[in-house]
Amino acid sequence: MNIVILAAGQGKRMKSALPKVLHTVAGRPMLSHVLDVARAVEPNGGPVRRVVVVGHGGDAVRAAYGAADGLVFVTQSPQLGTGHAVLQAVPHLVDGEPTLVLYGDVPLITAATLQRLAAAAGKGLALLTVRLADPAGYGRIVRDSAGRVARIVEERDATAAERAIDEVNTGILVAPTVRLKAWLAALSNRNAQGEYYLTDVIAQAVTAGVSVAAVELEDADEALGVNSPAQLAQIERIAQRRNAQALMDAGVRLADPARIDVRGTVEAGTDVFIDVDCVLEGRVVLGDGVRIGPHNVLRDCSIGAGTEILGFCYLESAVIGELGRIGPYARMRPTVRLGDEVHIGNFVAVKDSSMDRGSKANHLAYVGDATVGQRVNIGAGTIVANYDGANKHRTVIGDDAQTGSNSVLVAPLEVGAGATIGAGSTVNKNAPAGKLTVARSKQVTLDHWKRPTKKNS
């Protein structure tokens, strides 16, 4: 199969320096969604050519994908219409395979629809249509007296009667490649816009006696394209409704399906609950019985079975074990590894550290570049000072150690197993195992000191 994806549009109404097809839906560029669907309809055997037609911002689109995706990029310049765009791909199309034409700014199209379209084409041509209550702006499907597709007329070229037709063209089609090449070469730009319309190949196919099948969309949302920030936001909401439904179909309980954003992939076990206003980005794995409280952001995280993430946490690149308790108001910065039954409490930040089974940092602490053993208690206000202004240094805290409130551990440092750090200590030398280490200046009271008073103005 040949797959041509049109991605040359500038998208002036987006008012953005970013090429239109690189604007994101559900956390990924629109073009990525289209490429994923294209892969799903590729045959298991036979050659496949995937050609992306770029124009405005073409270098940025190429750079975003590179050669790793097996894509061929061609440039449309100047941009003289959809027919002219597909014509740029012709040298790369294999004659013996059908050609599927897709659009990089139509990200909601599904593999099931495209498989239905390809099956309907057979040896002929099949186009995807949709019926709209308000068809303004779309090319209309004109049928003959027998109900067969005769041609497509663009709105600017349509008569009043043709504008009343509610069946419109989505632009997506499958055609026999040899014939498509000939039809493209014969296109004319004698129309209101002075462009070469891909839709004009339909009339040529009818004239040539090639069967033309119209496959009507069951869900009109699949045909929605993006030309403005408002349309992008509309499509984002539709995509998120789909994501929420997929989670619920998999058994996840959502407090409110309208108040979750999935910007990647989510793998969930049984009895998972997600509260309102959560954002899941990248690859997120949730074990059995995980509970995610309200207003959390999880990016590229794995959460073990039975762990609860309380509200208002930001977790990034964290692997958290089973039966843990995180938050509220906790932050995990890359890269964090927490063992089973670890507790991270309110206003605690952990960065590039590991904490083993049963360890706790319940209040107002920073653990950075540290290796923390089992059953360690990080007291309130403890800071692992990992940065000297130029380089990061590591701290190792042994099993069963405890740090008193308002301690500062100045890395590089080792705190031995079972050691205790006295409250208010600033420790910059290794603390031996099983001992109490106190590092604070002597308390002094000044008998004759007087509190300053305000001067009269």
Interval 48-102: pLDDT, tens: 889 999 998 999 999 999 766 789 999 999 999 999 999 999 999 999 899 999 9
Does the pLDDT value for residue 419 go beyond 80?
yes
Q: What is residue 168's predicted lDDT score, i.e. its pLDDT?
A: 95
Average pLDDT, the chain: 95
Split at pLDDT 50, 70, 90, the class of 107 is: very high
Q: What is residue 205's predicted lDDT score, i.e. its pLDDT?
A: 95
Per-residue pLDDT tens digits for 206-230: 999 999 999 999 999 999 999 999 9
Q: Which residue among 33, 56, 343, 363 is the active-site one? A: 363
The answer to whether the predicted template modeling score (pTM) of the entire model surpasses 0.85 is: yes
Q: Which DSSP string corresponds to 237-305?
A: HHHHHHHHHHHHHTT-EES-TTSEEEEEEEEE-TT-EE-SSEEEEEEEEE-TT-EE-SS-EEES-EE-T
Per-residue pLDDT tens digits for 391-407: 999 999 999 999 999 99
Between the CA of residue 133 and those of 51, 87, 214, 218, what are the distances in Å?
34, 33, 18, 14
Does the pLDDT value for residue 457 go beyond 80?
no
Architecture of domain 255-437: 3 Solenoid (2.160)
Does the pLDDT value for residue 47 go beyond 70?
no
Q: For a pLDDT cut of 90, what percent of the chain falls above it?
A: 88
Is 23 assigned a catalytic role? no
Give just the sign of the alpha carbon dihedral 230, 231, 236, 237. positive
Give the integer Cα–Cα distance in Å for 116 and 255: 35
Which among 260, 233, 266 is positioned nearest to 24, based on CA atoms?
233
CB of 223 within 8 A of CB of 217? yes
Decide yes or no: CATH 3.90.550.10 for domain 2-223. Answer: yes
Q: Give burial (CB, 10 Å; 0-12/13-18/19+) of 365.
A: buried
Domain(s) of CATH 3.90.550.10: residues in the chain: 2-223
**Pairing, β 212-216 against β 125-131:** parallel
Q: What is residue 181's predicted lDDT score, i.e. its pLDDT?
A: 97
Domain(s) of CATH 2.160.10.10: residues in the chain: 255-437
CB of 260 within 8 A of CB of 171? no
Who wins on pLDDT, 44 or 380?
Answer: 380
